[in-house]
Chain A
Amino acid sequence: MNEFLQQVVNGIAWGSLYALIALGYTMVYGVLRLINFAHGDVYMIGAMVAYYAARALLAPGTASAPAFFALLALSMAACGLLGFLIERLAYRPLRRSPKFTALITAIGVSLLLENGGQLFFGPDPKFFPQLIESREISPGSGIVITNVQLLILGVSLTLMLGLQFLVFRTRVGTALRAVSYSAETASLMGIDVDRMISLTFVLGSMLAGAAGVLVGLSNPKIEPLMGIMPGLKAFVAAVVGGIGNIPGAMAGGLLMGLSEVLVVGYVSSTYRDAIAFVILIVVLLVRPSGLFGTSLEEKV
């Protein structure tokens, strides 16, 4: 029982990272009906920005919680800017082109970031500095919960609740939901649709950047292709939750993390990546619009 609980704890911490990335996929899909394949690579850039900033700014051994939060903010800001530029330079010029053109472009941007990353950062792995010393904080309970796990969970939950608040409780969030329902009608309300699309990319990319820094805390090995598999799984999480649906992306992310950790723990690490796709296939067969999704037809 304790071992199972342990796996659940690990799975939730891991899944919250997928959830952060999945939100970006689902938000962009919500407003543009576009799968932004470059999104996983934005997460990689988030990790790289924090890595280089830590090397440049922190003397060895000076790592601390304030330093971590400063790096987190820096990475999120850098990724937000990157997301803004990706939309502005790659997708906006194609706004009136067929959807297929934008999809191909998304793959192109992804390849650009991956190969550009290998060129600039070098293909070999780097080791993320230990920003927070890992300590067990649950003595005597029989399961190990570390302060790092708690930090990952706390930061992701805070960011997700913040997004939830923004989208469902503010004027700008209402405008975002209106654009996602119908951009044309939203423009008749006086909403600047292009600006809302930019905002969506900025917010989604900031969350991916945060995930990139958080992952460095628990899996310090980072490299330019590190975004591919988590990006794919987060995309699966978004589809499983119901693409376009924000709570769905969070739930889907947690489901991905939990299932992955449980499969590694109880079946075999060989199936670590396969389980995501098994879940995808099952969900698509049983509930094609995803766990939280309403029918997709409603949108058109």
Chain B
Amino acid sequence: MSGASPQAAGGGALLEVAGLRVRYGVIEALHGVDLVVRRGEIVTVIGANGAGKTTLLKAISGLVPAAGGSIRHHGEQGTAELGRLRPHEIVARGVGHAPEGRRIFQNLTVRENLGLGAYLRRDRAAIESELAEILTLFPRLQERFAQNAGTLSGGEQQMLAMARALMSRPSLLLLDEPSLGLAPKLVRAIFGVIRTIRSRGTTLLLVEQNARLALEAADRAYVLETGSVALSGTASELASDPRVQRVYLGGDA
């Protein structure tokens, strides 16, 4: 069940990361990363703990400053260097980010969390119909709608985090380990939703520990090792690469 769709590969570049360096104090976490995401693709970044996957996504959405290199986004409003923008301006360009660890607002209700996802949108009617559509993807959230988000289970929180990110109707969605800590059945469901999101026209940059499922769903993939891109190619190429199989697909079921 390969999610790779050949027609997607033809899209123009939506995001171009070149020579990206990020430092935390004296420690450099990314040493010049190059990565391209084309319109309509699912691109996955896999790598061990501490490889710099989260740092890469945070740099793209402006949460950590780049110490070098460039992050160019070709959006509807033209091309911009994301390194010069603040996080809320990057969201306004259509880049959504469901961060690692879900980060839902536990002091707010499910409804308020979803409403904040659409914070920058003014078209009420469109927001309402979007909400209804998203709730069909995540029926559990419908049942929990008025409830405080802090009372949700881990899986429900993950769904809320994805649903909230979708509410901004992003053209590019960054997902940081959406399957982390979920039961196998829910993991399958989340990957199903990822495919649905793409089929609705959203481009995805997916960071995952579950390399097997990520490579199944993605068109192309990058392997990040200690802050540098070690391998890249189409997802099926990488899935059959002996080194990827040994290191990332070995004990992975």
Which B residues, 107 to 124, have Cβ-Cβ distances below 8 Å to chain A?
A: 107-108, 112, 115-117, 119-120
- Contact (A191, B116) CB under 8 Å given A184-B63, A185-B99: yes
Q: Are A188 and B105 interface neighbours, CB within 8 A?
A: no
Partner of A190 from B63, B92, B99, B107 at Cβ < 8 Å: B92
Q: Are A187 and B86 interface neighbours, CB within 8 A?
A: yes
Interface majority SS (helix, strand, loop, mixed), chain A: helix
- Contact (A189, B103) CB under 8 Å given A178-B108, A184-B63: no
Which B residues, 80 to 135, have Cβ-Cβ distances below 8 Å to chain A?
A: 86-88, 91-92, 96-97, 99, 103, 105-108, 112, 115-117, 119-120
Which A residues, 138 to 195, have Cβ-Cβ distances below 8 Å to chain B?
A: 171, 174-175, 177-178, 180-182, 184-193
Q: Are B103 and A171 interface neighbours, CB within 8 A?
A: no
User: Hey, which chain B residues are within 8 Å of A191, CB to CB?
Assistant: 88, 116, 119
Instruction: State whether the Cβ of A298 lies closer than 8 Å to any Cβ in chain B.
Output: yes
User: Hey, which chain B residues are within 8 Å of A193, CB to CB?
Assistant: 87-88
Partner of A188 from B61, B107, B108, B115 at Cβ < 8 Å: B61
Q: Are B116 and A187 interface neighbours, CB within 8 A?
A: no
A173 and chain B: residue at smallest CB distance: B112
Instruction: State whether the Cβ of B55 lies closer than 8 Å to any Cβ in chain A.
Output: no
A238 vs B91: C-alpha distance in the bound complex, in angstroms? 35
Which A residues, 195 to 220, have Cβ-Cβ distances below 8 Å to chain B?
A: none
- Classify chain A: how many residues form its interface, as a range: 10 to 19
B101 and chain A: residue at smallest CB distance: A185
Shortest beta-carbon distance, A47 to chain B, in Å?
35
A34 vs B17: C-alpha distance in the bound complex, in angstroms? 37
A182 vs B108: C-alpha distance in the bound complex, in angstroms? 12
Q: Are A175 and B116 interface neighbours, CB within 8 A?
A: yes
- Contact (A187, B87) CB under 8 Å given A171-B115, A178-B116: yes
Partner of B116 from A184, A189, A192 at Cβ < 8 Å: A189
Which B residues, 42 to 68, have Cβ-Cβ distances below 8 Å to chain A?
A: 61-63
Q: Are A187 and B88 interface neighbours, CB within 8 A?
A: yes
Which A residues, 107 to 130, have Cβ-Cβ distances below 8 Å to chain B?
A: none
Q: How many A-B residue pairs have CB under 8 A?
A: 66
Q: Are A185 and B119 interface neighbours, CB within 8 A?
A: no
Q: Are A182 and B105 interface neighbours, CB within 8 A?
A: yes
Q: Which of A178, A185, A193 has the most CB of B within 10 A?
A: A185
Shortest beta-carbon distance, B22 to chain A, in Å?
15
- Contact (A298, B106) CB under 8 Å given A174-B115, A189-B117: yes
Instruction: State whether the Cβ of B168 lies closer than 8 Å to any Cβ in chain A.
Output: yes
User: Hey, which chain B residues are within 8 Å of A185, CB to CB?
Assistant: 99, 103, 105
Shortest beta-carbon distance, B111 to chain A, in Å?
10
Q: Are A190 and B105 interface neighbours, CB within 8 A?
A: no
Q: Are A190 and B88 interface neighbours, CB within 8 A?
A: yes
User: Hey, which chain A residues are within 8 Å of B107, CB to CB?
Assistant: 177, 180-181, 298
A22 vs B219: C-alpha distance in the bound complex, in angstroms? 56
Q: Are A174 and B112 interface neighbours, CB within 8 A?
A: yes
Shortest beta-carbon distance, A197 to chain B, in Å?
13
A68 vs B36: C-alpha distance in the bound complex, in angstroms? 63
Q: Are B105 and A177 interface neighbours, CB within 8 A?
A: yes
A292 vs B87: C-alpha distance in the bound complex, in angstroms? 33
B161 and chain A: residue at smallest CB distance: A185
Q: Which of A175, A177, A184, A187 has the most CB of B within 10 A?
A: A187
A174 vs B106: C-alpha distance in the bound complex, in angstroms? 12
User: Hey, which chain B residues are within 8 Å of A184, CB to CB?
Assistant: 63, 87, 103
Chain B positions 171 through 190: 1 when the CB is less than 8 Å from some CB of chain A, otherwise 0: 00000000000000000000
10 contacts between A and B (CB under 8 A): A174-B108, A174-B116, A177-B108, A178-B108, A184-B63, A187-B63, A188-B87, A188-B165, A189-B116, A193-B87
- The 10 A-B residue pairs with the shortest CB-CB distance, nearest first, are A187-B87, A190-B91, A190-B120, A185-B103, A189-B116, A189-B119, A190-B119, A190-B88, A192-B88, A181-B105
10 new A-B contacts, CB < 8 A, other than A187-B62, A188-B99, A189-B91, are A174-B115, A180-B107, A181-B107, A181-B108, A185-B99, A187-B88, A188-B87, A188-B96, A190-B88, A191-B119
What is the interface of chain B, defined by CB distance below 8 A to chain A? 61-63, 86-88, 91-92, 96-97, 99, 103, 105-108, 112, 115-117, 119-120, 164-165, 168
What is the interface of chain A, defined by CB distance below 8 A to chain B? 171, 174-175, 177-178, 180-182, 184-193, 298
